[in-house]
Chains A and B, each alone.
Chain A
Amino acid sequence: MFCGTAIGMASSASVNSTSTIACKIALIAPAGANLGNPMTYLAKPKLHHPSLTQNKVCHNRRDYEGRISSLCAGCGHDSISAAIIQACFEMDVEPHRVAKLSGIGCSSKTPDYFLGNSHGFNTVHGRMPSVLTGANLANRGLLYLGVSGDGDSASIGIGQFAHVMRRGVNMTYIVENNGVYGLTKGQFSATADQGSKSKKGAINTDTPIDMISLALQMGASFVARSFSGDKQQLVPLIKAAIAHQGAAFIDVISPCVTFNNHPGSTKSYDYVREHNEAVNRVDFIPPRAEIVVDYAEGEVVEVEQHDGSVLLLRKAHGAHDVHDRIAAMNYVATHQAKGEVLTGLLYVDDEAVDLHHHLNTIDAPLFSLGVAELCPGPAVLAKINAGLR
């Protein structure tokens, strides 16, 4: 692609649009002259090496970064942010064509820490799904990335989580799942396993909510689980979810180093590493790209998605069929009962359709329509008046 001048036209194009962006090498000034109070806001230097590799849309990896994270050192969430950055860079996503939305909580802070050239919206606790739904209805031309936590999506927000999956909103919905409330200092969330121990020694007696099972039951058309400590698995899953044209959900176990990384926790680094059962490994092949991976026959399953991208699934064990929703639900339940944390791509509907398809909305984004397309005009109104006499 020619990386020349010109700016992207507002909103008209999809992620695969050909709008070009001026490649700027060397020093780029931070957005906004006022850096604010250093106690509450940290600017990230934008200085980078001029020879950094650029992708097809003329961005280097650092163009996909955001502000400096204010999360604890070693937080699993930061690894997920890094995976999102890597996935978007490698997929040649134009950052400004992404809308990133979150609720409230540690995980919901993270959209500030990646894709700094994307609009973001830190909404209300547990209600990101509805805001994302509305944003998507207004402009179907953007990529929607919803980032949430287990408190945000399983406790306060379980209702909206269920309904956004039911509606089939075209999005990538990531739950950064650590089984604990971080910002309020260590209370259990609804995904904490029964019998698991809090840092203060309390035992959780409530039945846990399994987000994967819930998403499967509610009709999500792409369902995966991963671990923040396994970038090799996570990055291709994020790519596949972004390419998916429907409701894509990834439950990412993401240990809380401060409040839930102790013995007795089932969401600690050690526990997850010991119990991680990877169903498959995914290689993401973008649309129209050549498949160059070598594999023996029967070892790999090819899944072609609607947008033309191909997922190569290397099965780790068993014969799980990722196209069978009911089988996926059984498979997840069976392994869960054994105390295993099942990861990988668990279900995908490669013929998925989204909410706009159900609503039969026009191709142009609704927000871009003007008076000519929306207002029936005075002559029609005169007829309506006549019918009301």
Chain B
Amino acid sequence: MSAVIAVPPAISAVNDFVVKFANVNGSGSASANELFAKAILRMGVPVSPRNIFPSNIQGLPTWYEIRVTAQGYLGRRGGVDLMVAMNPQTWNQDIAEIAPGGYLFYDNSKPLPTGKFRQDIHVIGMPLTEISNATYAEPRQRQLFKNIIYVGALAALLGIDTKVFQKLFAEQFKGKEKLLDANTQALHLGRDYALAKLPRIGLKVMPLDAVGEQIFVDGNAAAALGLVYGGATVCAWYPITPSSSLAEGFQSYCQKLRVDPVTGKHRYAIIQAEDEIASIGIIVGAGWNGARAFTATSGPGISLMTEFLGLAYFAEIPITLLNVQRGGPSTGMPTRTQQADLLCCAYASHGDTKHVLLFPEDPHECFEFAAAALDLAERLQTPVFVMSDLDIGMNQRLCQPFSWDENRHYDRGKVLNAEQLEASRDFGRYLDVDGDGIAYRTLPGTHPNKGSFFTRGTTRNVYAQYSEAGPDYIANVQRLLKKFDTAKTLVPQPVLRAAAQPTRYGVIYFGSTSPAMHEALDALQADHLHLDAMRLRAFPFPASVDAFIAAHDQVFVVEQNRDGQLRGMLINEQQIDPARLVAVLHYDGTPITARFIIAAIGKHLRKV
């Protein structure tokens, strides 16, 4: 391949490389870049795109990184093989990021920006602005079609079939023929120029059959759909990145799927509240009154909700929270990803509290767990968190299609109806009748003279009567602990991946670390470093976690936060010897990579 471009040696790869677009926020590049990703996907080649965006609407730098991966490794790889540098502000930084032998594609309508430059990369210039300005008169059109022109050029360079784009355009602009024609024209402008004037490069996309039935969707949309399927009827939220698109997604799915066909009335209620305190207050009221209710938020929102979380835990109100985690503390890194809210959610509020957390690994599990959380919340009469993050929530990810068993029913938990109350002799709201720590509740309005009670955050006896007596308090909080034990059997259980051969080493991970971990385990195994792996899917931790740790001399705990929050919880909750748990921590705000995990674990294992 060195014949393609003389010196230095060019990177040569088929269906296995990283393209990064450096753009200016608000320039319309996102949809063009997404089009590019989807075109590769339509050729049967898995892709994993990531938006790396600023807290800004217009003007600041933004990047879109696409990993093309025949093997289906959907984690972020690290490194860039082809940089599409469309933003002079970040020129130096973008150039520096290109792997040796990699490619720089840029707009050479104006002379190259001055600044650092490299001899070990291949430069491909194309007069994008010139072409666009010569074709389009209107400034906004010039800007938007410039994006499509570079997509056309890249498609030609990489060998992406034009028919794929035609099909994508036809789907996207159905009924808007004018737009369809204009986009097709722009695409061909870029393509024709590239074929005629640009050198060939060593990166190629070849048709493959590695996508199959998988779907391409972001975690927030998936969770929103899971909430529709799971029967959520009340949503209260306050806008906050990266969770806003979840509530908005719920709204748009409800508008399509939850309107009464006869009356046109809504089978849902959505309130954009004045703040996160009101958001959770609204869902606490709705949950108390028997509706399936949720809020979507991120770290600062959780902080505001903590007083209500204590009330919901202590008064035993079912609510569901979708926490799309970002970098903290405080405003932190609002547009970057982390798994750093474990402790603040697991123990949110003052006093002795513990909450149920679910850890989805991808959009498929966002759908599954959002629906499951609604069931769990009502079964356990307590807050349940779905702990997504920006990496899963705001990036389109290839995953298994959504599925729903047509016989599936909602688990509404232990709620007494009028007939049951009529037949019962001794209703006590906090009586542990079944010995599982979960008492029976009643909903307002059920029965004229049986089953009413006063819900409060203060101590009460089993009949919900106000009490400041120590024994009443202890009996109550001990029952709550028993209920938390019951939760261990109801939450999604861990997923095991056994090493190719018996090993003394294990690794525990969760959530969005999943794709990078799979890739890392493959690579480590190829390097004869074997580890059994356990993916945790919920807190409280079931007994199988203790067994897994006990079966290994050392267990790596891989997570995306500074303090090793999961590791700390394992030590505290399961009484694990800290020396057996080795922290592997990634927390710069970018998604963890296989390269990072391989380096950290490999280094440790080679030492021993």
Contact = CB atoms under 8 A, between A and B. Distances in A.
Contact of A31 (B269, B418, B463): B463
A384 B217 CA distance: 11
A217 B464 CA distance: 39
B444 A137 contact: no
Contacts of A184: none
Contacts of B463: 31-34, 36
A117 B449 contact: yes
A174 to B, nearest CB: 18
Contact of A124 (B260, B311, B426, B448): B311
A10 B233 contact: no
Question: Which range holds the interface residue count of chain B?
Answer: 35 or more
B446 A360 contact: no
B229 A381 contact: yes
Contact-size category for A: 35 or more
Interface in A105-159: 111-112, 116-124, 127, 129-139, 141-142, 159
A95 B449 CA distance: 8
Contacts of A7: 418, 422, 447-448
A41 B465 contact: yes
Contact of A40 (B280, B409, B427, B466): B466
Given A40-B469, A374-B258, A389-B216, A122 B458 contact: yes
B265 A388 contact: no
Contacts of B260: 362
Interface stretch (B14-22, B59-67, B282-290): B282-290
B209 to A, nearest CB: 13
Given A121-B455, A123-B311, A136 B215 contact: no
Interface in A363-389: 363, 366-371, 373-378, 380-381, 384-385, 388-389
Scoring A21, A118, A369 by chain B CB atoms within 10 A of each residue's CB, the highest score goes to A369
B91 interface: no
Interface stretch (B320-328, B398-406, B569-577): B398-406
Of B280, B311, B444, B463, chain A has the most CB atoms within 10 Å of the CB of B444
Nearest to B236: A134
B266 interface: yes
A255 B454 CA distance: 26
Q: Which A-B residue pairs are the 3 nearest by beta carbons?
A: A130-B281, A134-B285, A32-B463
A142 B265 contact: no
B472 A360 contact: no
Interface in A25-56: 31-37, 39-41
Given A134-B293, A362-B263, A384-B225, 6 more contacts: A10-B445, A32-B427, A130-B280, A141-B445, A367-B290, A376-B229
A96 interface: yes
A355 B380 CA distance: 30
B158 interface: no
Interface of A: 7-11, 19, 21-22, 24, 31-37, 39-41, 94-97, 99, 101, 111-112, 116-124, 127, 129-139, 141-142, 159-160, 163, 167, 356, 359-363, 366-371, 373-378, 380-381, 384-385, 388-389
Contact of B284 (A131, A167, A389): A131
6 contacts: A9-B418, A36-B463, A119-B454, A121-B454, A375-B229, A377-B406
Contacts of A160: 274, 277-278, 281
Interface of B: 211, 213-217, 225, 228-231, 233-234, 236, 257-258, 260, 263-271, 273-275, 277-291, 293, 307-308, 311, 401-406, 408-410, 417-418, 422, 426-428, 442-449, 452-458, 461-469, 472
A208 to B, nearest CB: 23
B445 A11 contact: yes
B421 to A, nearest CB: 8
A163 B273 contact: yes
A130 B273 contact: yes
Contacts of B446: 8, 10-11, 96
A378 to B, nearest CB: 5
B453 A385 contact: no
A376 B286 contact: no
Contacts of A371: 231, 408-410
Nearest to B426: A33
A101 B285 CA distance: 9
Contacts of A32: 426-428, 463-465
Nearest to A122: B456
Given A36-B465, A37-B469, A375-B231, A127 B308 contact: yes
B445 A361 contact: no
B6 to A, nearest CB: 41
